[in-house]
Structure 1
């Protein structure tokens, strides 16, 4: 309860900022199918390929930009950087709120792909960094669990609302929620870090570097300096080389994210092709997943971590994910999909456990960079996953499948989670953070 009171404005910002995206999530499959495969209500290979391309481009862009934005938040504050993903999320929703013809869908498709380069993974990585600023290392697993639980609660509420709203109303409501999130954050959320050299005394676009040059010159100089000194790929490789615990945790996170990325981006198209599911069925499934995820990450993660530690919790959660994917791969009816979702009670503990381990390997002034690097690695996995597995899923759902096993793609993904589980057993947790002296 103390953590909830202490971080209440962060939780409200995260909930409202993520609610709009989750509200539109169940409707995207139907809109995509109606736009690219009109008249077909089941399998559509083009939908798989478009989703794969969008997710790959967005993931590769986010891999570069998310660590950079995380590093900027270490210098200019979490609140300033949190504004960007929430503001940008309004524009794709506005397109489909206006009209949902094929041409408007493709406009949404391109806009969403470009904006996801900045917004995908940024909101949660900055929220975790904010929480790490505010709480001690011993309480971070609980704080991270609650942050993740709030994300899942917004997922639950968004899908629950989508179950009862029309498609036209969904995108209008999503726009309003994003606007409310921005206003709430700017009014109530306080900055979590003390900025050296008064970095937050002026907006980023008006930072002065000596002299009284105009704002455009100041912005250009800042942008140039920032890009020169905060190379995203250099930051990722630097953190991976500095300590084996961080690098092994990142490896686990990568393999787990390959399965998670496909599930998040393409599972609804698989279920539509396999069981002819619709928006309401997928929303109902998402409500179950969201409810279990909210309970898992706010209560189960912190409770189990206190008993078995972050490392063992991570391994148990990964093994539960492996079993879940195995069951999903052989599902013969939609009720089996519902039943397998019960394992989300454990599998959702992967994120807070991994992020907690990683956060304890860096100094307090590097929390944004560390969480941004993990999100960047996740984005890279999200980019790879659909490129490899979406064509495979389209093949095994078609009449030209080499053999009759529609869930073969999910079986392959199950083995990536098994690889993550094996790597998790090699993690040796070391709690003292890296000394800043090692950087010199």
Structure 2
């Protein structure tokens, strides 16, 4: 009995050490993205008050701010839809780090604008510059980060790694909201600008490249030579022609890969509803319950703490026992439920209950990233992740076209009937379509090719750990 217990304990310790070694290549990426998300989220609770103060001073409702936010979301969505797949494909050719530097560096500009002044002209400048930055940063950082994980982490550990990465996003989210809660409004943007600039410098100095130089294969074969020839040919192709070719390849890809098609449908409808919810929620809460910066920060703090707990602790356990398919269904169910509950909120404590739903709905993002990474070949990780990010962005284009006018209408005195949260109910109903598709999701196929060189190195490290004596 004692020997069995000792053996089991030694196995647990080796399993823990194996996971630490597997995740070690992501340390610098995790820290840099944590800083970036922290700075980005720091400004969100104050941004609504800044926009209303500059565009509609002294008013609790502001149609101009709602429509400008919707226009920004549409333009950024169109740009992200076009740019993110190209960023992902370029990262397959030139490496993840050079492409990651683009969104990390550009994100400094909008923060610096509002750090300098929050008057009407500077708010307009922020909206314009912020839209351009969102085109590169909104989908680019997540897409390239997931591709980076796929380069470094063995297939069976990717769900864990992506969950930890998303957990670091949530940690940055929580720290950013806490700072927003304690900092004065005129200081928030200055601190955010400094932090986001430091994150860009950190990426430049410390983040190692994963695939800029793939080097010769361990066992050269015809497939490797063909892929190298394909990359060389692609590098010589003009960007505009490459975009046209990419559209054709995407159509063929969806015809050949039913699982990817199903994931794309899930991403489209869940993002369509989520974008509508996020674009209108703060204006709805301010107009209906009189919420301001502090209440927004409290809601986002609950959301962030639940996300950290969920992605770092719940996701590894759920994925291990149930698999990505079931966890994705649970996550989308929670997402649709919390949107519908927001829409029928009858008291100011209901939004706080809704925020706690994030303990489940935040799991959809890493689950989708893990499924896509297991569907793609090693040399196409950036392309596949960029494609899914582009679909997500396309959904954010369409959402404000319907949700923003509905929000403005039902928050005004001209509403056809008394239901201030009607637009949120519509957003939740759209997510139900994604829920139905998640029910019919096909099983994840086994890998079709040999692991990448980096993955083989990770496997060798694990074998060394497994060979260590028990202690």
Q: TM-score, normalised by structure 1?
A: 0.90
Contact 2:284–2:420 (Cα < 8 Å) also in 1:
no
Aligned partner of 1:75 among 93, 104, 110: 93
Cα 1:301–1:79 change in 2 (3 A) is same
Give the whole-Å Cα distance in 1 for the aligned partners of 2:112 and 2:250. Answer: 34
Give the whole-Å Cα distance in 1 for the aligned partners of 2:386 and 2:45. Answer: 27
Contact 1:94–1:171 (Cα < 8 Å) also in 2:
yes
**1:12 maps to what in 2?**
31
Give the whole-Å Cα distance in 2 for the aligned partners of 1:410 and 1:421. Answer: 17
Aligned partner of 2:340 among 292, 302, 326: 326
**Comparing 224-233 with 344-353, which one deviates more in the overlay?**
224-233
> Displacement, 1:425?
1.2
Give the whole-Å Cα distance in 1 for the aligned partners of 2:36 and 2:398. Answer: 27
Deviation by residue 1:195-226 (Cα, 9 ceiling, x = unmatched): 3589xxxxxxxxxxxxxxxxxxxxxx968634
**1:64 maps to what in 2?**
82
Aligned partner of 1:134 among 152, 161, 171: 152
**2:135 maps to what in 1?**
117
Alignment of 1:35-434 (within 5 A): 35-40=54-59, 42-193=60-211, 195-196=213-214, 225-231=238-244, 232-433=246-447
Give the whole-Å Cα distance in 2 for the aligned partners of 1:368 and 1:187. Answer: 22
**Comparing 264-273 with 83-92, which one deviates more in the overlay?**
264-273
Q: Secondary structure at the match of 1:269?
A: helix
> Displacement, 1:324?
1.5
Q: Secondary structure at the match of 1:400?
A: coil
Give the whole-Å Cα distance in 1 for the aligned partners of 2:45 and 2:24. Answer: 32
Contact 2:300–2:355 (Cα < 8 Å) also in 1:
no
Contact 1:62–1:117 (Cα < 8 Å) also in 2:
yes
**1:206 maps to what in 2?**
none
Q: Report how many residues are paired.
A: 413
> Displacement, 1:122?
0.5
Q: Secondary structure at the match of 2:79?
A: helix
> Displacement, 1:64?
0.4
Contact 2:113–2:126 (Cα < 8 Å) also in 1:
yes
Give the whole-Å Cα distance in 2 for the aligned partners of 1:341 and 1:87. Answer: 31
Q: Secondary structure at the match of 1:332?
A: coil
Runs of at least 5 residues in structure 1 that lack an aligned partner in the other structure: 199-220
Deviation by residue 1:167-216 (Cα, 9 ceiling, x = unmatched): 22111111111221122112221112253589xxxxxxxxxxxxxxxxxx
Cα 1:81–1:331 change in 2 (3 A) is same
Q: Secondary structure at the match of 1:32?
A: helix
**Comparing 281-290 with 426-435, which one deviates more in the overlay?**
426-435
* Structure number, greater radius of gyration: 2
Cα 1:173–1:233 change in 2 (3 A) is farther
Q: TM-score, normalised by structure 2?
A: 0.84
Cα 1:61–1:233 change in 2 (3 A) is farther
Give the whole-Å Cα distance in 2 for the aligned partners of 1:418 and 1:263. Answer: 14
Q: Secondary structure at the match of 1:360?
A: helix
Contact 1:55–1:383 (Cα < 8 Å) also in 2:
yes
Cα 1:29–1:141 change in 2 (3 A) is same
Contact 1:235–1:369 (Cα < 8 Å) also in 2:
no
> Displacement, 1:4?
4.1
Give the whole-Å Cα distance in 1 for the aligned partners of 2:71 and 2:84. Answer: 19
Runs of at least 5 residues in structure 2 that lack an aligned partner in the other structure: 1-18, 217-233, 451-471
